[in-house]
Amino acid sequence: DMEVAIKVVVVGNGAVGKSSMIQRYCKGIFTKDYKKTIGVDFLERQIVINNEDVRLMLWDTAGQEEFDAITKAYYRGAQACVLVFSTTDRESFLAIESWKEKVEAEVGDIPTVLVQNKIDLLEETVIKNEEAEGLAKRLKLRFYRASVKEDMNVNEGVFNTTSNACNQ
Ligand code: GDP
Ligand code: MG
């Protein structure tokens, strides 16, 4: 019985909620001050697709994205990508296209989803709905609004799509 493993990279500006999202999906928890465990490159979760056991490995960074210092090793072999921006951070939204280009430059065109996180802070939004939808359309990406904090659209949305896309 061959084991299938899928490497998923989660990219976007610092503080948009990437580490929280990975932790939510793999451990089922949300903590206000998540600190990356030193020496751990990814967390994983075992799932079943079409009766097959699949290991989703979600790669995290140790904050190198803030210095634009993510190494090639981070992207190497990635089979799916989650692009994340935050409802309350316009810079993070404007940076999405450049993140997509970085991933593409390393691993080509892989299944990718766009995620607007922190939708629980919608009252403080700095991004119009039509802007976010327009970007998703232009980049031809499936788009999710999520709240890692409120556990909205992480399990049944983002990573569900990611794993299904890899299985086609
Ligand atoms: P990263 O730098 O992209 O890995 O972001 P982190 O996961 O470290 O999260 C940055 C901050 O945003 C932390 O204080 C998190 O608790 C907070 N955060 C993450 N997701 C959410 C969310 O959905 N809603 C709210 N309100 N805060 C969030
Ligand atoms: Mg992080």
Atom of ligand 1 nearest to the CA of 23: 7
Atom of ligand 1 nearest to the CA of 34: 8
Q: Which of 23-27, 88-92, 102-106, 117-121 has the lowest mean pLDDT?
A: 23-27
User: How far, in Å, CA of 154 to CA of 112, rounded?
Assistant: 15
- Residue 103 has phi, psi (to 5 degrees) of -65, -45
Give residue 164's pLDDT.
Answer: 76
Q: What number is the average pLDDT over the span 25-42?
A: 72
Q: If pLDDT is split at 50, 70 and 90, which confidence band does 165 have?
A: confident
Q: Are 114 and 142 in contact (CB under 8 A)?
A: yes
In sequence order, the β-bridge partners of residue 43 are 58
ipTM given for this complex: 0.99
- Say if ligand 1 is within 6 A of residue 153 CB: no
pLDDT at 38 over 50: no
Cα of 65 from ligand 2 centre, angstroms: 9
